[in-house]
């Protein structure tokens, strides 16, 4: 009986399906091999087109004409350095930091502001008390942990830059540079 079942299995539908399975998979493999790279190339081309890379490359190859709007916008956002950078010192500040318990921590900091032009110096001088006040209020709220590492320094720089630009509103300060910073 077991032999009869084996013979039926060997000669039955199961043996006929084996040759058909590879032939049915063959067109799928051909389609994947041919279509998948084509789709990848089309997708990459579309990505380059929509990001403006192709236009920028073709604009340079053609040798002129109009700039791509994204390139022109990027150039407009870049700081315009006509001459050397102008730096203005802020008076040294010493503040106590937020701490837990009785132990006191202090921050001694000296910074310089990078201005766009020498014509901006009188306006910054005029509002210097407001800048110092804004810095003092912010610095007193900091903890020692807030000043640790590169991320802490970057956050401090960004916050000071935001506050100084708010104080000198029509004038634009390009950067806040740390000259000295001591946490004790």
pLDDT at 103 over 60: yes
pLDDT at 32 over 60: yes
pLDDT at 106 over 70: yes
- The domains located in the chain, with CATH, are 2-77 (no CATH), 86-183 (3.30.479.30)
Which is nearest to 91 in space by CA: 106, 118, 113? Answer: 113
Q: How far is CA 33 from CA 22, 26, 144, 149, in A?
A: 16, 11, 59, 50
Average pLDDT (99-123) is 88
pLDDT at 63 over 90: no
Q: How far apart are CA 97 and CA 95, in angstroms?
A: 6
Average pLDDT (47-54) is 82
Query: Considering Cα of 129, then 133, then 136, then 139, what sign does the dihedral take?
Result: negative
DSSP element (H, E) containing 108: strand 106-115
pLDDT in the model for residue 46: 86
Give the bridge partners for 111, in sequence order: 178
Average pLDDT (2-21) is 51
Average per-residue pLDDT in the chain?
78
């Amino acid at each position: 009986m077991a032999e009869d079942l084996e013979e039926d299995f060997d000669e039955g539908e199961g043996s006929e399906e084996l040759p058909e399975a590879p032939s049915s998979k063959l067109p799928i493999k051909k389609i994947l091999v041919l279509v998948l790279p084509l789709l990848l190339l089309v997708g990459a081309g579309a990505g380059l087109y929509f990001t403006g890379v192709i236009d920028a490359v073709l604009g340079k190859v053609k040798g002129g004409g109009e700039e791509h709007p994204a390139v022109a916008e990027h150039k407009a956002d870049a700081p315009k350095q006509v001459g050397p950078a102008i730096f203005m010192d802020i008076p040294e500040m010493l503040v106590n930091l937020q701490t837990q318990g009785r132990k006191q921590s202090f921050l001694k900091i000296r910074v310089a502001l990078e201005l766009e032009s020498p014509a901006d110096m009188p306006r910054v001088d005029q509002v210097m008390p407001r800048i110092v006040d804004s810095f003092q209020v912010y610095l007193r709220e900091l903890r020692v942990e807030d000043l640790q590492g590169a991320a802490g320094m970057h956050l401090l720089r960004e916050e000071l830059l935001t506050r100084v630009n708010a104080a000198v509103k029509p004038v634009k300060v390009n950067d806040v540079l740390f000259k000295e910073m001591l946490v004790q």
